[in-house]
Amino acid sequence: MKEQKPKGVWVTKHLTLGIQPQNTRGLQIAGIVTFIGIVAVNAMGFIDHDTRSGLGCGTNWPLCHGSIIPSFANEAVIIEYVHRLLSVAFVAALAVFLISAYKRRHQSAIFNRLTLALIGLLVTETVICTAGVLWNVPAAIMAWLAPIGLFAQGILLIMLRRTGQNPDADHKTGVNRPYRILSLLGILTLVYLYFGAWLSYVSSVVPILSAIYLVSGILLALSAILWIVSQARTGKGKKYGLWPMVFAPFVPSFESGTVAGDLIIYIWLSWCSGVVIYYLFGRVGRNIETIRTWQRPAISSKPHQ
């Protein structure tokens, strides 16, 4: 009998990425309420800033003009006051969600890391926002509010999706994605959000900021098209979630300073940043979920017949 050489075997081990399905209904409900809360707070904050209503309650915080319920003399007071009410409601929902997640902290290491990242982003956002009300904070620092808020929103969405998810789901549906393009999209999205926000905080047009904002928008649109084309060629699935990014260079001309216009822009920004974060995290998830080790079976010491 011809001796057969031992062949290597790829062994794949699946690690739990999501909270296990059992007993997660309460966590899922808390997560949904929290996600709705962060969307409402971010949207209202976007409208608050773009309509110049940030000082609608004066420099008093957490009170509004020294009162719990102020006189709603103008639109700025209403917008700022609603923004603060939504923030309080969101903090309460977030506390319930984090407590529920903490009780299941031993079930998912990835979920715990996402939780820490979310808390860090929200604390940073709160510190900057509060400082902006109490003091004259430079525009370069205040500009971080937009990307931080949208990235926190994206992370919370991923956490919500991970709740009750089959740990093998990403492994079964994973496709080879051009991660260099995705990484570029992530960087360009951050640059686009940051410099766009910075421009909104300065009182006059700054040519260098406008140039960076415009160029990043053009590159963002081209990168999104490149990614969509590369996905279409693979035939692995139709991943067209980044199509809205094609409009990035034209968004500045749509800014109107009205509540309805600001809401449309915010929805667009949320979609683009959320999809990028979701696709980028897919790579991290599969890398942690799948560990391939090359194992060779032991060679028998008995002579072959």
DSSP string, 143-180: TTHHHHHHHHHHHHHHHHHHTT--TTHHHHH-----HH
Known active-site residue 125: no
Q: Which residue among the candidates 80, 125, 255, 289 is catalytic per the annotation?
A: 80
Residues 188-217 have pLDDT tens digits of 999 999 999 999 899 888 999 999 999 999
**Cα 32 off chain centre by:** 15
Can you give the pLDDT at residue 282? 56
Q: Phi/psi at 288 (nearest 5 deg)? A: -80, -35
Q: Above 90 in pLDDT, residue 164?
A: no
> Helices 25-50 and 75-103 meet at what angle, rounded to 10?
150
Instruction: Assess if residue 2 is contained within a domain.
Output: no
Average pLDDT, the chain: 79
Contact 66, 140 (CB under 8 A): no
Domains identified in the chain, total number: 1
Distance (Å, whole) CA 305 – CA 266? 75
Distance (Å, whole) CA 111 – CA 2? 51
Instruction: Assess if residue 74 is contained within a domain.
Output: yes
Can you give the pLDDT at residue 268? 93
Tokens coding 290: 């799948």
Q: Above 60 in pLDDT, residue 161?
A: yes
Q: Above 60 in pLDDT, residue 37?
A: yes
Instruction: Assess if residue 107 is contained within a domain.
Output: yes
Q: Residue 277, Cβ neighbours under 10 Å: how many?
A: 20
Instruction: Assess if residue 214 is contained within a domain.
Output: yes
Residue 125: which of 90, 150, 98, 95 has the closest Cα? 150
Instruction: Assess if residue 213 is contained within a domain.
Output: yes
Q: Above 80 in pLDDT, residue 17?
A: no
Instruction: Assess if residue 221 is contained within a domain.
Output: yes
Instruction: Assess if residue 75 is contained within a domain.
Output: yes
Least trusted range by pLDDT, from 15-29, 149-163, 165-179, 250-264: 165-179
Least trusted range by pLDDT, from 31-35, 162-166, 216-220: 162-166
Distance (Å, whole) CA 137 – CA 225? 37
Q: Above 80 in pLDDT, residue 182?
A: yes
Instruction: Assess if residue 128 is contained within a domain.
Output: yes
Can you give the pLDDT at residue 171? 42
Q: Above 80 in pLDDT, residue 80?
A: yes
Can you give the pLDDT at residue 101? 82
Top mean pLDDT of 21-25, 53-57, 105-109, 220-224 is at 220-224
Tokens coding 1: 């009998």
Can you give the pLDDT at residue 156? 92
What mean pLDDT do residues 289-304 have?
Answer: 42
Tokens coding 235: 């035939």
What mean pLDDT do residues 87-103 have?
Answer: 90
Least trusted range by pLDDT, from 66-75, 86-95, 209-218, 294-303: 294-303
> Helices 145-162 and 179-201 meet at what angle, rounded to 10?
140
Can you give the pLDDT at residue 59? 73
What mean pLDDT do residues 123-137 have?
Answer: 88
Can you give the pLDDT at residue 10? 36
Q: Which residues constitute the domain of residue 23?
A: 11-295
Residues 232-258 have pLDDT tens digits of 777 655 566 889 999 999 988 776 667
Confidence (pTM): 0.78
